[in-house]
Amino acid sequence: MIYVENDPALRGIMTQLLEQRPDIEILLATGIAHEAIDRRLAEQADVALLDLALGSSQMNGIDLGLALRSLNDNIGIVIHSQYRLDTVARVVPPEALIGWVTLPKSGELPIGDLVQTLRDAARGMTLTEPLADSETLPLESLTIRQRAVMGMAASGIKSTEIARRLHISHDAVRQDLSRAYKILVPDADPDADDLRTRAVLTYLELTRDDDAGDGA
Amino acid sequence: MIYVENDPALRGIMTQLLEQRPDIEILLATGIAHEAIDRRLAEQADVALLDLALGSSQMNGIDLGLALRSLNDNIGIVIHSQYRLDTVARVVPPEALIGWVTLPKSGELPIGDLVQTLRDAARGMTLTEPLADSETLPLESLTIRQRAVMGMAASGIKSTEIARRLHISHDAVRQDLSRAYKILVPDADPDADDLRTRAVLTYLELTRDDDAGDGA
DNA sequence: AACGACCTGTCACAGGTGTGAGGTCCTGGG
DNA sequence: CCCAGGACCTCACACCTGTGACAGGTCGTT
């Protein structure tokens, strides 16, 4: 197997645990994505265990998995992540999805189960369900006006000033912000969360360097 | 001890290893920063082991450490990170630095060494050297309370909730936020700027751990 | 034309926010 | 001892925010 995990502490511990298994051979354990992209390595490996989030300076686990697939049609790919995993189903072409398994990071996963998942993936099992869909990214369900207003709010402009600059009423701005908040922070606790700040953080996150699909 | 680590896999493994030590009692192991901010918990704990990068949706380990300090003057803080750690020295007020230890994440760190570091921090040892300096960042002129309050605000918690969690009055929180805004956004235009958002953005910029010394 | 679905705007209300003025409590000079 | 300076807090005031209810608009469909 090939193991790519960003966090050195987790990688070290996991490597130790996996090496104790007689049926597992670790060809490479690294935190650097491009080290794993090697034809000889990919051809020798039966399966790759890839952290999804490898840090902002390099490709993510999905891209890496696709790269490995292009070197070895039969390699199993296990994506390891603590975040939502349906992203995989959205960006991986369906015909390449065979042998893709997503594995939520959790503290309780016994090492034996992990090994079993790796074996399953190597045999071609697919655990990633094709997107139930109707799921759209929050950003895409914002209207143009809402994005304009939200964008200005995210750069630290107060509502009254946004209204002045867009030549609409203060009420209208607040109404659109309110509607944008519901979309960007649907799970907010009105007693604890500062909606504006949470929405701004989400908005900035969604509008950063990502991602597939739409043009500006 | 209190343990806050974003990555559930690492957290789970570390929790198991630490619980095997007879001299360590884990009061809380969580990935959610604000769960750790609890008066009773902070008073009972001798030391907190905090991951620096807790994810973009919540405060970082330094802010969390400061919040815990405001609940318990004597709690030891161990910041765990794979990144550069001199940020700590730059952003933590020197008088609060006693008992702050920074610990690089690496795969090889024996659990015994970690335990020893935790004990050292609980006893008040300081491993973070006060920055050689002539660097005066806005952050350094914030008081500890202001850092704690601002850190929580920057993670999207509203003032009333911050007050509740830190056991101070809503008025006091707003007063400290107001003072923090003046320091973080000295050039604000009160007619156009949303002070809270601008301060949050500035604050996050200043506390990012990949941020080199010079700004602007 | 009538319909549904969406987007946009207005209004009123409850509650949150930012700030100056002015207290208390320390701490470290003089 | 008294005093200055700072951190922290309370209060009151003016203003800003977030939201439900509701009323047009504009589409594309029936």
Averaged pLDDT for residues A59-86: 70
pLDDT of residue A56 exceeding 50, the answer is: yes
**Considering the entire predicted model, what is its pTM?**
0.57
* Pairwise pLDDT comparison (A111 vs A172), residue with the higher score: A172
Least confidently predicted of A33-37, A103-107, A111-115, B107-111: A103-107
Is the distance between the Cβ of B143 and the closest atom of strand D smaller than 7 Å? Answer: yes
* Pairwise pLDDT comparison (B111 vs B43), residue with the higher score: B43
The pLDDT tens digits for B101-121 are: 666 666 566 777 788 778 877
CA distance A193 to chain B (A): 5
What residue in B sits closest to A57 (Cα-Cα)?
A: B210
Size of interface A-B (CB pairs under 8 A): 110
Spatial separation of the C-alpha atoms in residues A104 and A88, rounded to whole Å: 12
For residue B140, give both structure tokens.
Answer: 């350094």
pLDDT of residue B131 exceeding 60, the answer is: no
Q: Phi/psi of residue A60, each to 5°? A: -90, 175
Mean pLDDT taken over chain B: 77
The pLDDT tens digits for B132-152 are: 333 445 566 788 888 889 889
Angle at A153 between CA A147 and CA A158, to 5 degrees: 140
pLDDT of residue B37 exceeding 80, the answer is: yes
Q: Of the segments A176-180, B101-105, B164-168, which one has the largest average pLDDT value?
A: A176-180
Spatial separation of the C-alpha atoms in residues A23 and A121, rounded to whole Å: 15
Write out the H or E segment, with its range, that includes residue A142: none
Spatial separation of the C-alpha atoms in residues B207 and B154, rounded to whole Å: 11
pLDDT of residue A131 exceeding 60, the answer is: no
SS3 A124: coil
CA distance A133 to chain B (A): 25
Beta-carbon separation of A156 and B13 below 8 A: no
pLDDT of residue A103 exceeding 70, the answer is: no
HSE on the CB side for B33, CA within 13 Å?
28
Residues from B contacting A (CB-CB < 8 Å) are 6-16, 31, 56-57, 80, 82, 105-109, 153-161, 191-194, 196-198, 200-201
pLDDT of residue B174 exceeding 60, the answer is: yes
- Locate CATH 3.40.50.2300 in chain A: 2-122
Own/partner long-range contacts of B11-18 (Cβ < 8 Å, ≥24 apart): B11/A107, B12/A106, B12/A107, B12/A108, B12/A109, B13/A10, B13/A13, B13/A14, B13/A107, B14/A9, B15/A107, B16/A107, B17/B111, B18/B111, B18/B114, B18/B115
Instruction: Report whether A83 contacts A52 (CB < 8 A).
Output: yes
AA identity, residue A37: I
For residue A192, give both structure tokens.
Answer: 């604890």
- Locate CATH 1.10.10.10 in chain B: 138-207
pLDDT category at A119 given cuts 50, 70, 90 is confident
Instruction: Give strand letter and number of the nucleotide nearest A171 (CA to C1').
Output: C10
Note the pLDDT of residue B60: 77
pLDDT of residue A215 exceeding 60, the answer is: no
Note the pLDDT of residue B49: 92
CATH 3.40.50.2300 fits domain A2-122: yes
For the domain spanning B138-207, the CATH number is 1.10.10.10
pLDDT of residue A41 exceeding 60, the answer is: yes
Instruction: Give distance CA A143 / C1' D30 (Å).
Output: 27
Q: Of the segments A131-140, A166-175, B49-58, B98-107, which one has the largest average pLDDT value?
A: A166-175
